[in-house]
Every structure is written in C-alpha cells, then in structure tokens.
Amino acid sequence: MDLDGLDALLAKLDRMNRDIEDDVGKIVKNNTIEMTENVVKNAEFTQGYQTGYTKRNIETKMVSKLAGKTISKSEHSGYLEFGTRFMDAQPFIFPGFYNQKKQFLDDLNRLVK
C-alpha cells in the first residue's frame, strides 16, 4: 500500500508542533498584559481614602513562556478585593480576570482552527 503525500503531511505536522508553542506564548503574553490594563482600570475605589497606591502597584509578571500573572503588590489589596467585617468588598482583580478569560479562550480557539 502506497500513500501519496504522507511525508509532506508529517513534515507539516512537525513544523506546526514547533511553531504552536511560540504562538501560544504570544497569546498568553498579550492577554496577560490586557488583563493587567483592565485590572488597573478597575482599581478605582469609591469607599474610604484613595491615594492610588494599589493602582500603581499592579503589574504583569511572566512566569514562563506559557504562564503569566497579573499581581497587586500592595499589602492591602486582598482586603479591597474581598472586604472585611467593617468594609464591603470592592473587587478589581476578579472582574478583570473574568472579562479577559473569554478573549483568551477565543484567541486560543482561533489558533487551533
């Protein structure tokens, strides 16, 4: 049995395997940066005293080629996100995450198709 085009197909699959990691890395990096921008926009607090410290301390950190983080280095950001018994929550990280999640999955699906 002889199959025409099998070598070309295998070569293309091998090339796709090497290139897909770079493409996914770009998608991860771009979506992490966009999520950080959304989180910074969401860091407008209406209750209490606002100095902009939390907003200035939100940053993007690429952990590896395929993993990125949006972090807030302000010590009190957890209290703002989840609230305390004296203060209502004013979430700013999770809304940014949920907004970006859909875009990230759409970008990955476009890459695979």
- Given a cut of 80, is residue 86 above it in pLDDT? yes
Chain mean pLDDT for the chain: 88
- In angstroms, the Cα distances linking 91 to 5, 70, 80, 100 are 55, 14, 7, 15
pLDDT at residue number 69: 94
Per residue in 2-51, pLDDT tens? 667 777 778 777 777 767 878 889 999 999 999 999 999 999 887 777 88
pLDDT at residue number 85: 93
pLDDT at residue number 113: 75
